Amino acid sequence: MEGTQRGLLLVLSAPSGGGKGTVLKEMFAQDGNLRLSVSATTRPPRPGEVDGQQYYFLSQEEFEQRIASGGMLEYAQYVGHYYGTPRAPVEKWLDEGRDVVLEIEVQGGQQVKKLCPGCVSVFLMPPSMEVLESRLRGRGTEEDAVVRRRLEKAGEEIPHAAQYDYIVYNDRLEDAVADLQAILRAEKRKLERNRDCIERVLSTC
């Protein structure tokens, strides 16, 4: 019999167009214990995006006020806009035993790893830069100059994968999802998360 554990905090990063959203959609369809932290951003909504679902869309002034009050678990600037993670919902879910995914870029991921050393960090790696460019252009939501900037940024971000606990290659969706699920299962069985089970089991003799 398992005791109640604090939830696992999963930091998932990838370059823009790396497929985080597609992979996570399948993960959440298969695991009802997962929760996705909704990030805040100062970028304008894309077509179909709703405030409080994909992001909390804040003005720059509002975002900076939250930074000053300590209300952000992490934050960063990316392609001219702020992105960050509100702290309170994440802590609440973890205390309830929920596993929480932070879908964030590498700068924010580094901040979380410092603040939350027990988190698990995964870098979702595209199969090639050519595939990454194709995915970005396939969105059809951004001008060519923005796509080029995102590709340049990806070239800066990918080397930071060396600082993550795991690398998952996002070539085939089902393989990437299976790898992430295996990582979560293995991390939950680590000794530091299960030390109390030794005495608990012995106490049932």
Q: pLDDT at position 165, please?
A: 96
Is the pLDDT at 3 greater than 70? The verdict is no
Token pair of 59 as six digits: 């003005």
pTM assigned to the model: 0.80
Average pLDDT, the chain: 89
pLDDT of amino acid 142: 74
- Token representation of residue 193: 């998360």
Sign of the CA dihedral with 49 first, then 50, 56, and 59 last: positive
pLDDT at 24: 94
Give the per-residue pLDDT at 130: 85
R_g of the chain, CA atoms, integer Å:
18
Q: Output phi, psi for 51, to 5 deg.
A: -60, 130
40-to-2, 27, 43, 82, 178 alpha-carbon distances in Å: 35, 22, 9, 8, 28
SS (H, E, C) 42-54: CCCCCCCCCECCC
Q: Percentage of the chain surpassing pLDDT 90?
A: 53
* pLDDT of res. 124: 94
Q: Which of 40, 105, 98 is nearest to 72 (CA)?
A: 40
**Among residues 110, 117, 31, which one has the least CA distance to residue 76?**
110
> Range with the lowest mean pLDDT among 7-11, 67-71, 121-125, 137-141?
137-141
Question: What is the residue type of 201?
Answer: V
User: Could you report the per-residue pLDDT of 131-156, keeping only the tens digit for each?
Assistant: 888 878 877 677 888 888 888 888 88
Q: What would the two tokens of residue 157 be?
A: 């971000």
Pairing of β 39-41 and β 55-57: parallel
**By the 8 A CB rule, do 135 and 100 touch?**
no
Please tell me the predicted confidence (pLDDT) of residue 4: 63
**Domain annotation for the chain: domains and CATH numbers:** 9-37+98-202 (3.40.50.300)
- Which ranges of the chain would DSSP assign to H, the alpha helix? 20-30, 60-68, 87-95, 106-115, 129-139, 144-157, 173-188, 196-202
Tokens of 149: 């900037």
| Amino acid residing at 70 | G
Q: Could you report the per-residue pLDDT of 4-60, keeping only the tens digit for each?
A: 688 999 999 998 878 888 999 999 999 999 999 998 999 999 999 999 888 999 999
Kindly indicate the confidence band of residue 88, based on its pLDDT and cuts at 50, 70 and 90.
confident
Structure token digits, residue 105:
């870029």
Region 64-78: mean pLDDT is 90
Please state, in angstroms and rounded to a whole number, the distance separating the CA atoms of residues 168 and 40.
25
